[in-house]
Amino acid sequence: MSALVFLFLFGALVLSAILVSSSLLFRDIQNAQANRIYWLVSGLCSLISYLLFSYGGHISATSDTNPLMLTFANALVVAGAVYHAIFMRSFNARITHSLKIGSFLFVVAFGLHYEYLRQHSHFAVRALEIAGIMIVLFGCQLHQLHHAATTRKSRQLWLVFGCTAIELLLVIGRVIAISSVDKKISVLYQMPESVFWLTFLHIVFSVITFVLMGAYWTEQITASRIQMQIENNEIRALLETQDKLVRNLLSANKSASAGALSGSLAHELNQPITAMGLNLSVLKMELDTLSTPNAALFSLWKDMTDDNDRITGIVQSLRTMFMKNNDEHIPVIDLRSAVLSMMRLIEAECDEQSIEIEWRLKGELKGKFRSTDIQQVLLNLIHNAMQSLSYSQETNRKITIAMLGRSSRIYGSVADNGQGVSKAMLPALFSIFETSKETGMGLGLWLCQYIISRYNGTIVHSVPTGGGAKFSFSLEAKR
């Protein structure tokens, strides 16, 4: 009997080492948090039961009584098998709350029933009842393991399936061995030698099952790292694709296909815009026929006409944006008038958001520019400033727009006292598709840089005194 005691002690020692080492692997396995608890509980129940069996076996070897701790030991054996079956099921389905409660109540009910049997029956009856329960639980484990191993295509799970099948056969063999004994077995040390060896093999294969599950976790870590490497390679490929896209876009003015695409788009947009212009002309004729002039309707017609003209200018700018920048077709304009034409729209939006706006226009601002290009740059920068201020806790919110003509260049800037640009965004601030806005596309600042580069200019970001953000740009003013 001392051999059986040492067997349980050795099993407990090996199992504790497996649980400690394998549980550390969960930290590196994604989505392992949901089901690892059942595996750990199962192993812990088996570990404690081995310790109780070793001590209970030692007491039984020196007396004819069955100590109370054997009730706890057998209950924990059943609990270990129950939670191992739940763990196997977690591979294939979500564990419901009712299953958790039902499993716990089953273990408690078995413990109470076993305590009754310990006091009113002999060893063979108790052993056969536990064996019957274990046969059912091992059958459930095999069913869940077969499905998991088939779907996951894991060699380790198939090995666990094989060891569990051997455990089932050993339990059946133990039932046969106990049933074939003629004499009445009252205590543990009276069991035949064949039952001892079957129990020995059962403990060995139980420990091997936990070892194989540790190998399965290692397999999952390897697969996870390989998948991570694949994802890193895909991200690297996407970044290279993005860089290539930027280079293609920056050289799109040399591409006839880009010019054809923008021209086709502008042509398609021109049709509804032209129709809108005709409708506005008809509306003007109708207004002129009124016996009593309606100032409100006439003002509304004028605003709609101005907006239609602005849309026409934007479409024409789109048509030429990716085409060669031919100075002969660009007129000399005064950017002061282009900027002043934006004031009504910008100041109205700022008033709604309680934002103070300051315009500083100095020097000669004439040059060969498309007014819609410069307006597009200013509108993008101003709208970015307004959005930054909308998230700021600053009470005196302010935007300053400055333009200065000096020699053959024009310098401009848009500054605000908002929350500024995060450090994480600075390296890719002017990159295409990079944005910190939830609904942004990451085109605004890239487009500003692209338009300014067409006029041999540059744009940079800085932090003004007092915080916020400032975007400064310069343009070559050809005359």
H or E element that contains 453:
helix 444-454
| Percent of the chain whose predicted confidence (pLDDT) is above 90 | 9
pLDDT band at 34 (very low <50, low <70, confident <90, very high): low
What's the mean pLDDT in 430-448? 62
**Per-residue confidence (pLDDT) for residue 413, from 0 to 100:** 93
Q: Which two tokens stand for residue 149?
A: 């191993």
Mean pLDDT of all residues in the chain?
78
Q: How far is CA 3 from CA 16, 61, 170, 205, in A?
A: 20, 11, 19, 18
Burial 293-319 (b: 16+ CB within 10 A, else e): eeeeeeeebeeebeebebbbbbbebbb
pLDDT, tens digit (0-9, with 9 covering 90-100), for 318-349: 655 555 555 557 788 888 888 887 777 788 78
Task: Kindly report, residue by residue over 381-424, the tens digit of the pLDDT.
Answer: 998 888 888 888 778 889 999 999 988 899 999 999 888 888 87
Q: Quote the CA–CA distance of 72 and 65 in Å, as a whole number.
A: 15
Task: Give the start-to-end residue ranges of the domains of the chain.
Answer: 2-230, 256-324, 332-476
Mean pLDDT within 132-156: 88
Distances in whole angstroms, Cα of residue 298 to Cα of each of 142, 283, 305, 307, 341: 84, 9, 10, 14, 20
Over residues 224-249, the mean pLDDT reads 75
Task: Please return the burial class of 38, using the count of CB atoms within 10 Å of its CB with bins 0-12, 13-18 and 19+.
Answer: buried
What is the CATH number that goes with domain 2-230? 1.20.1070.10
- Token pair, residue 407, equals 């020699």
SS3 state at 5? helix
What pairs with residue 405 in β-bridges? 410
Q: What is residue 255's three-state secondary structure?
A: coil
**138 vs 299, which has greater pLDDT?**
138
What CATH fold (topology level) applies to the domain 332-476? Heat Shock Protein 90 (3.30.565)
- Calpha distance 369→333 (Å, rounded): 6
Contact 166, 129 (CB under 8 A): no
Q: Do 472 and 458 form a contact (C-beta atoms < 8 A)?
A: no
The C-alpha atoms of residue 237 and residue 243 are separated, in whole angstroms, by 10
